[in-house]
Amino acid sequence: MIAAIENALPGDPGVLVGIGDDAALVVAPDGRVVATADMLIEGRHFRREWSGPADIGGKGAARNLADIAAMGARPTALLVSFAGPGHLEVSWVLELVAGISAEASSAGAVVAGGDTSGADVVMLAITALGDLAGARPVLRSGARAGNVIAVAGTLGSAAAGLALLRQGTAVDPAFEPLVAAHRKPTPPYAAGPRAAAAGATAMIDVSDGLIADLGHIASASGVRLELQMSAIAARPVTVRDALEGAAAVLGAGYDWRRWLLAGGDDHALAATFPASEGPPDGWTVIGRVVAGQGVLVDGRGWNDAGGWEHFIA
């Protein structure tokens, strides 16, 4: 199986030594390397009965590649560690690998190496590397009062798709795009470097929920972020009609606004920009940065859970 995986992964000019040696040798043109790591665990982040192997692999890659983009960098390489049950079909694993490779390629990166092992469930541990091309990294700590807040990508769809899958019945075809968003996110990778070039002062990948992740920027920057629900709950940030429809079908206890503000897993990018220049194309302004602390929505605090809690079932 290991040999089959190695043969399925392509090489790249940015990787001087790839799979087949004890370690990879990756080109670092900038002299600095942006690095991040993330895990994807069966039963916690995905279910094989809900998602095909290519989507699972793509999702594992996307979670890491989006973090690189959120620093304003271009993804260059992935290191992938895979563990799974021995009864898995080789064809299933190869589809997983193909999904990882395809997602990496879509972001301009390549799989440079990794490891394999046995486990009771499928687990992916991926490290992503990126290049800043001489630019400064965009950190969470740079937001300043007077900046505007903007989003690139879509919010709420993945959380709605997860809720639909959990209902345990056939999903209405009208809601398939929401389910697809849960199975494999589509982060706006190019928007990260574009934001950096346009003068973004802070940026983050929205993985755990908009309120939770913007809370990290507010805390790191020592400012308050004030959001406008009318801007968030409209295209292109939100497919509102689909979210409202899904909430109506699921019934009492489901609120599309909660998916939008606290759902996470869409891997959109959120950033702050000087108000005088604003964000580049592909970004939508959803609020402003002021003196203070925390995150407000239409002038009020968000009293529900802010997003995904990693250590709560």
Written as six digits, the tokens of 92 are 């299933």
Query: For residue range 124-145, what is the model confidence (pLDDT) as tens digits?
Result: 999 999 999 999 999 999 999 9
Written as six digits, the tokens of 262 are 């606290």
User: What are the CA-CA distances from residue 248 to residues 155, 169, 244 (Å)?
Assistant: 18, 15, 6
Question: For residue 140, what is the DSSP state?
Answer: G
pLDDT range class, residue 25, cuts 50, 70, 90? confident
Q: Could you tell me the domains of the chain? A: 2-131 (3.30.1330.10), 140-301 (3.90.650.10)
Q: Indicate the average pLDDT of the chain.
A: 91
Query: For residue range 185-229, what is the model confidence (pLDDT) as tens digits?
Result: 999 999 999 999 999 999 999 999 999 999 999 999 999 999 999
Instruction: Answer yes or no: are the C-beta atoms of 221 and 292 closer than 8 Å.
Output: no
Amino acid at 68: I
Instruction: Give the predicted TM-score (pTM) of the model.
Output: 0.91
